[in-house]
Amino acid sequence: MLEVIIAILTIAAFLTGTLQLMAFTALYKVRAERQAQANFWIQEDFEDVKFLASTLDVNSSPANPNVSLNVCTDRSEGYATALRRELTATPVPNPIPTDPQLVATREIVGKNYSLLRTFNTTLDNPHRLRIDYRVELATGETANDYRNQENVIARSSVEVIPDASFECP
């Protein structure tokens, strides 16, 4: 009789352990799926930005209102600034916003997330635009799926150089 009780307890312990591992596996699978979709979303937006960068040109017809006529000579109005103006829909005379720009909000595995872009240009490289991406929980969402969950699930940093900048002296 004692052997039967020990066998039942042993089976119960193994079943409990197996069920807990299955629960953890499901949790990590959801986390991995969210991160993969967030990284794909960043890559998707970056491809759109690269296409937009390839279309910028001071000699385009009709003239692009976001490209300054002295784009090649004025370090503060390089192609990086023109691309930044294009991405933020800010025409030439207006100041460019410096805060993170909300690109879109989308549902990823049952929660809403926001894609944000932050831009950085330098006078040393007036045609190179650095974009820092961040995918975080949308406003109003709660990070309550698992312990120590961060609001930001994906980050990436890229640099874009518009094709037309290679025509500058």
Instruction: List, for residues 46-82, the tens digit of each pLDDT value.
Output: 999 999 888 887 676 666 766 777 777 777 778 888 8
Kindly report the pTM of this predicted structure: 0.79
d(CA 77, CA 88): 15
Q: What is the pLDDT of residue 24?
A: 80
pLDDT of residue 71: 76
Taking the mean position of all CA atoms in its chain, how far away is CA 123?
A: 25
Return the DSSP state at 110: T
> What is the number of H-type helices and E-type strands within the chain?
2, 4
Nearest-angstrom CA–CA distance, 34 and 107: 10
Q: What is the pLDDT along the chain (169 residues), one digit of tens a residue?
A: 888 899 999 999 999 988 888 888 877 888 889 999 999 999 999 999 999 888 887 676 666 766 777 777 777 778 888 888 888 887 777 778 888 999 999 999 888 999 999 998 888 888 899 999 999 988 877 766 665 567 888 999 999 988 888 887 7
DSSP 8-state secondary structure symbol assigned to residue 122: -
Please name each of the domains of the chain with its CATH number: 2-52+97-167 (3.30.1300.30)
The predicted structure's pLDDT at residue 127: 86
Among 81, 86, 101, 74, which Cα is nearest to 168's?
A: 74
